[in-house]
Structure 1
Amino acid sequence: MPRILPALALMVLATFAVAQDTPNPEPTAEPSMTMLRLAQIIRAIDPEATPSGNMIELTIDDIPVIVVADPVADRMRAMVPIRSAQGLTTEELMRLMQANFDTALDARYAVARGRLWGVFIHPLGPLEKDQLISALIQTVNVARTYGQTYSGGATVFGGGDSNGIYQELFEELQERGEEI
């Protein structure tokens, strides 16, 4: 019996030594996002994308997208114009703020220069390629779903008001269906 403990201890030590000698493959980090890399990714998405200074204009599913980046401030912004801000009602503005909380995901509704925009804002340097692609998709989706589901994608964060609004719509449509 006494020989088992030393043998077990040797096995544990040997296992530990092997684990220490075996390097853990770390995922290779993407290079920092630069204006050049940003432009290359955008041109792969839309070969017709038009750069102009720190701005690149592209089109995704017939929706114009503007990407502006400032390497000095380490910021980037993807924007989609949605409509004039003139005439937005208090109820519409409230709905936009509710969507910013739970359905717009990382994109947001914003008002600037007299327009309603779908926007995504992120530090430029740590932005990864897939995050950029997701940002573009979400920004296009908030524009596309404006006035309907106000959604940046398929996910609802929850805890906000949108689920209740969707439930009310579901019940209303359910009631309409009962009449048929």
Structure 2
Amino acid sequence: MSFVHLAEYLRATILGEIIMHAAIGKVDTVNVMLQTLHILSRDHYEKLAPRSALLMGLLEKVEDMDVEQVRQLMDVLCFLAFSKDEHGSRLRSDITILMRKHLSSSNTQLKRKGVISATMVVKHMASLESESQGGIDGASNLRASSCSRDSQASDDSLVPGSKAFNAMIY
């Protein structure tokens, strides 16, 4: 039986179990959790979006994740937060707060995560705008498969003081 055919309370339970794997902190476990969330958000958006509030707890784990994991997580969360329906407004607010916190940090690693978060926010805001204008056929890159490494920011663009970094922040 797939995620779509389960009762609503079972979907919430499964999501809770998936999210709990982020607390374990093992790299492989977190990677599988992120891949699972990506597939669920891409293939079963309409069933996952009402439960996006459950995913807000993952924002607390961003500081413990590596840069690639942050990119994957923020891609999924921004996809849900910047959708056309009303489910993402609270998640959108929390993402914005976390992004600003990281961008203003003196810690270089947190600042990098903030830049990655900002990149994902812009990506999904632009995707939503393009969809509303009919510019993208069907859906955003996440729906097509945004967990590809193509959208990962290069290390040069994450160096404080570089032109690319300053362009992202200012």
| TM-score (structure 1 length as normaliser) | 0.26
**Normalized per residue, which structure has more strand?**
1
| TM-score (structure 2 length as normaliser) | 0.27
**Normalized per residue, which structure has more helix?**
2
The structure number with the bigger radius of gyration is 1
